[in-house]
Amino acid sequence: MVAVLVAAGAGRRMGADKLWIELHGRPAWRWSLDALLAVPGMQRVVVVIPAGAEERFAAALPAEAADRCLLVNGGAERVDSVTAGITALTAAGMPDDMPLLVHDAARPGASSALMLRVADAVALGHAVIPVVPLHDSIKRVDTTGRVIAPVDRESLMAAQTPQAATLGELRAALEESRAWGRAATDEASALASGGITVHTVPGEAGNLKMTEPGDELRIAAVLAVSGSPMSVPAVASRQRAGIGFDAHRRESGRALVLGGLKFPGEEGLAGHSDGDPALHAVIDALLGAAGAGDIGSLYPPDDDRWRGADSGALLEEAVERLATAGWAPSSIDLVIVAPHPAVAPRRDEMIIRIAGLCGIASDRVAVKGTTSDGLGFAGSEGIAAYAIAVVSAKAPAE
Ligand code: MG
């Protein structure tokens, strides 16, 4: 993921310095830069600035992320500035299939959640823009200001930024619209006239563009509510949670495997694999958190490969699946419901085993044993387990 932040606008109505208006202690343009830098996997952000402003912008870059920021000079029109940003990203070695967000620095109210929504959509391969519905009636008027005709607003939406496509797609679309002499007012127009389907995600009412003097007051009010001055750390550690449940009935003649441990002398559990409901609940919780499927579809009971399988190996494979999807286990909380065996005497051993299989520190795993007070199947006929897993987005590969 890469981004171009357009901060080279002439600011015809508000004056060129509108991007330097302080909003809760940060210049307006820094709000957008910080929100872009917080998108998981964001490798580079090019800030396109007016000629001669290098020193001023360089001094105001966030120190901890300055190595991910590039400053380049923009051109006369927006399309020239975006093209300059794309050229700089290509020169920095970014491939054409890299997802790219283009954001207008005059929209400091765009939240991190909006950036993520657009980033998630473009990562799936869609050119995408955020849009908001129009609430006012729309009229077409003539040059004297008289109403000519009403316009049906049902099919109309207002386009915002960030707008996104792959680096190569957007470069080609901008080159083509330039060749045809069309002045693309935004990236979506260039993409659409280049024949690329542009999808939409919900925009935000607070993602206002600073256009007229006084707009900064409305945006400051938006930021005061939405963006308690540093929303970056919360987003940088993007996390999701998942839940898992499993239960297996007792089956005589089988050895009990529970939480990845063997319990000699205990009657085991039925099941296609080794029948360990605790690890199965953990696997389902992890897969669910990452949106990476579920244990039933990944290890189907009618597949002979999993007959008697070690559930520990299945858990390790699930963790690899998470890694492929860009997630890593962060914490696990597991509850085992069984009248026997008692979990407490082997709790630490089980925690260490599960933490090892998940590749996390043992203080991030909790295991609790309980009973159902003799009630229901977990009171006599089997063992049940519940797990909650939290996963974190992996750091971007540099
Ligand atoms: Mg199971």
pLDDT tens digits for range 154-187 = 888 999 999 999 999 999 999 988 888 776 778 8
Question: In this structure, are 244 and 217 located in the same domain?
Answer: no
Eight-state DSSP code of residue 177: H
Cβ atoms of 351 and 363 within 8 Å: the answer is no
199 CA to middle of ligand 1, Å? Answer: 40
Tens of pLDDT, residues 250-274: 998 899 999 999 999 999 999 888 9
Residue 299 lies in a domain: yes
Between CA 96 and CA 112 the distance in angstroms is 25
155 CA to middle of ligand 1, Å? Answer: 49
316 CA to middle of ligand 1, Å? Answer: 16
252 CA to middle of ligand 1, Å? Answer: 17
Question: In this structure, are 243 and 345 located in the same domain?
Answer: yes
109 CA to middle of ligand 1, Å? Answer: 47
For the question of whether the overall pTM of this predicted structure is more than 0.75, the answer is no
353 CA to middle of ligand 1, Å? Answer: 18
Cβ atoms of 160 and 131 within 8 Å: the answer is yes
318 CA to middle of ligand 1, Å? Answer: 14
279 CA to middle of ligand 1, Å? Answer: 8
Residue 230 lies in a domain: no
Domain that holds residue 281: 239-393
Residue 233 lies in a domain: no
Question: In this structure, are 217 and 280 located in the same domain?
Answer: no
Between CA 235 and CA 229 the distance in angstroms is 13
296 CA to middle of ligand 1, Å? Answer: 8
Residue 72 lies in a domain: yes
276 CA to middle of ligand 1, Å? Answer: 6
Residue 364 lies in a domain: yes
Residue 169 lies in a domain: yes
Q: How many Å separate Cα 308 from the centre of its chain?
A: 37
Question: In this structure, are 66 and 195 located in the same domain?
Answer: yes
Tens of pLDDT, residues 336-392: 999 999 999 999 999 999 999 999 999 999 999 999 888 887 778 899 999 999 999
Q: How many domains does the chain have?
A: 2
Question: In this structure, are 324 and 357 located in the same domain?
Answer: yes
Residue 398 lies in a domain: no
246 CA to middle of ligand 1, Å? Answer: 5
Beta bridge partners of 382: 249
Cβ–Cβ contacts within 10 Å for residue 314, how many?
Answer: 22
- Phi–psi pair at 279, nearest 5 degrees: -70, -30
Last residue of a domain, one of 200, 225, 250: 225
Q: Following DSSP, what letter does each residue of 55-75 receive, concatenated?
A: HHHHHTS-GGGGGGEEEEE--
Confidence grade of residue 27 (pLDDT, cut at 50, 70, 90): very high
Question: In this structure, are 69 and 213 located in the same domain?
Answer: yes
75 CA to middle of ligand 1, Å? Answer: 61
Tens of pLDDT, residues 225-234: 776 444 444 3
pLDDT for position 307 = 81
Residue 382: give its domain's CATH number: 3.30.1330.50
106 CA to middle of ligand 1, Å? Answer: 53
Question: In this structure, are 18 and 136 located in the same domain?
Answer: yes
Residue 98 lies in a domain: yes
Last residue of a domain, one of 225, 253, 285: 225
360 CA to middle of ligand 1, Å? Answer: 23
pLDDT for position 11 = 57
301 CA to middle of ligand 1, Å? Answer: 9
Q: Which of 27, 36, 35 has its CA nearest to residue 4?
A: 36
Question: In this structure, are 262 and 364 located in the same domain?
Answer: yes
238 CA to middle of ligand 1, Å? Answer: 29
239 CA to middle of ligand 1, Å? Answer: 26
- Phi–psi pair at 203, nearest 5 degrees: -85, -160
Question: In this structure, are 33 and 84 located in the same domain?
Answer: yes
Beta bridge partners of 234: none
Tens of pLDDT, residues 177-227: 888 877 677 888 888 888 889 999 999 988 999 988 888 888 888 887 776
pLDDT for position 282 = 98
348 CA to middle of ligand 1, Å? Answer: 23
376 CA to middle of ligand 1, Å? Answer: 18
Cβ atoms of 329 and 322 within 8 Å: the answer is yes
286 CA to middle of ligand 1, Å? Answer: 14
Instruction: Return the SS3 of 244.
Output: strand
pLDDT at 395 over 80: no
